[in-house]
Structure 1
Amino acid sequence: MSPYDPSAFPPFAVTVDLVVLTVRHHALCALVVRRGEQPFQGRWALPGGFVREDEDLTTAAARELVEETGLCVAEPGAPTTDPVKGAHLEQLATYGDPRRDPRMRVVSVAHLALAPDLPAPRAGGDANSARWAPVDELLQESEGARDEQSAPLAFDHAQILADGVERARSKIEYSSLATAFCPPEFTVGELRRVYEAVWGVALDPRNFHRKVTGTPGFLVPAGGTTTRQGGRPAQLFRPGGATLLNPPMLRPEV
């Protein structure tokens, strides 16, 4: 093995950024925090932080998720009985533009986290405040913005958020990931509203019911009903064992 000199290569830092998505008031929302320190002090940003020396990437992302939201990572295939404490977490993409952070060369490994309707967030770390915001609001162009709420996200977080939203929109077409936005037991109507919020389209209730109940392994009856949505009692379901949907739930063309 040829000699290796670590000092021959420039040092750089590694961070994890989190695209945390949930459905609130029938809208797809993302968690953002107001930065309390430079750079971009006072601007909204995705939650995240630097990877510690003794951490792998998944551990760092899970730690930041707990610190910023109080959420733990749900075990794959094992729905939590407490929907506020479990979240689906997966690696999204890596971002390494040399100029993405004005402090130094920083490479970010972004992660996507999905969870059911979540309570008001709490700020942590170097964040002054935190809020849930509709993704459409966060991703809109900032030209002509009238207030700081609509200012562009810090760093390259608008691009990371857009990539995370598109990942979620595409994955619920061919996987059972949409159930990660639902409580452990849910109605077909509640699941339909998840699809409508993530895709940003209205779906025909009868066609949707026929597709999801007719897709093998997607849903299984939970053995009960609920009237929490008003009207007649609706049957409750749980996620089935299927992770890939066949046939897929294709996104309507807008």
Structure 2
Amino acid sequence: MDHSTTRLAVSTVIFALRPEDGGTPSLWTPFVLRTRQPHLDQWALPGGWLPDGEDLDAAAARTLAETTGLHPSFLEQLYTFGRVDRSPTERVVSVAYTALVRSDEVERAAPGENVRWFRADALPRLAFDHNAIVDYAVQRLRTKVEYAHIAHTFLGQTFTLSQLRSVHEAILGHALDAANFRRSVATSPDLIETGEVLTGTPHRPPKLFRYRTAESSRS
């Protein structure tokens, strides 16, 4: 391994909810097939080298668009991975990002043949230390869904409590009691009832909610 120089790269863990059989969503993430050594023909996180004249956030967004066609509205720096032996050929420090996209954004992206989606809890052996990076991103996402408006990114502006619960279940990886979840979110000051209902349902139409924004908090 060449230790004479250190190269800086960006990598992005993309999360989307995709329905399983029966319509229950689960957490999925895409990977790009490596076409050169090291780790030829293994799946890896989307990313690339950081040019001298480009900011980290801009590089993460650019490499994501180039490799997957995705342009997520949520892109956040996750962690820096710099173990000495994480690359077999040279010293590489990777600044990892997390991106969240809705399922309709995934469909519009139409990624190429070298991009494949896997369930976040059923990954193949990835290149470099990318399995560890995804594991770290999943744990951070599970922590943040309890106190941040992460679910809003997956759902859009308005949603039902059932849809909100399905996002929490997909991220946490287990089922939640519907009544307990409803009671817990009912006490949240950030969740606002819109006064509208979801149309086109066979039963009593459920109420639609939204998250309180900074603007509505000041009004």
Query: Gapped runs of 5+ residues in structure 2?
Result: 20-24, 215-219
Deviations 1:9-54 (A, max 9, x none): 9321111111101111111111112112222111111111111121
> AA paired with 1:91?
Q
- Matched residues in 2 for 1:180 and 1:209: separation? 20
Aligned length: 204
> AA paired with 1:11?
T
- Return the offset for 1:194: 0.5
Question: 1:121, 1:132 within 8 Å by CA — same for their partners in 2?
Answer: no
> AA paired with 2:44?
A
Query: What is the TM-score when the length of structure 1 is the normalising length?
Result: 0.74
1:131 to 109, 116, 127: 116
Matched, 1:205 2:199: no
**CA RMSD, Structure 1 to Structure 2 (Å):** 2.0
2:161 to 188, 201, 205: 188
| 1:11–1:228 CA distance, 2 compared to 1 (3 A) | farther
- Matched residues in 2 for 1:121 and 1:214: separation? 40
- Return the offset for 1:231: 3.2
| 1:15–1:192 CA distance, 2 compared to 1 (3 A) | same
- Matched residues in 1 for 2:81 and 2:55: separation? 17
- Return the offset for 1:159: 0.3
- Return the offset for 1:166: 0.4
Deviations 1:38-74 (A, max 9, x none): 22111111111111121111111111222233333xx
| 1:228–1:102 CA distance, 2 compared to 1 (3 A) | farther
Indicate the residue corresponding to 2:60 in structure 1: 61
User: How do 1:210-249 and structure 2 match up within 5 A?
Assistant: 210-217=183-190, 219-227=191-199, 230-241=202-213
Indicate the residue corresponding to 2:217 in structure 1: none
- Matched residues in 2 for 1:162 and 1:34: separation? 19
Identity %: 42
> AA paired with 2:32?
V
- Matched residues in 2 for 1:229 and 1:70: separation? 33
Query: What is the TM-score when the length of structure 2 is the normalising length?
Result: 0.85
Indicate the residue corresponding to 2:85 in structure 1: 99
- Matched residues in 1 for 2:121 and 2:202: separation? 28
| 1:203–1:229 CA distance, 2 compared to 1 (3 A) | farther
| 1:230–1:162 CA distance, 2 compared to 1 (3 A) | farther
> AA paired with 2:127?
A
Indicate the residue corresponding to 2:27 in structure 1: 28
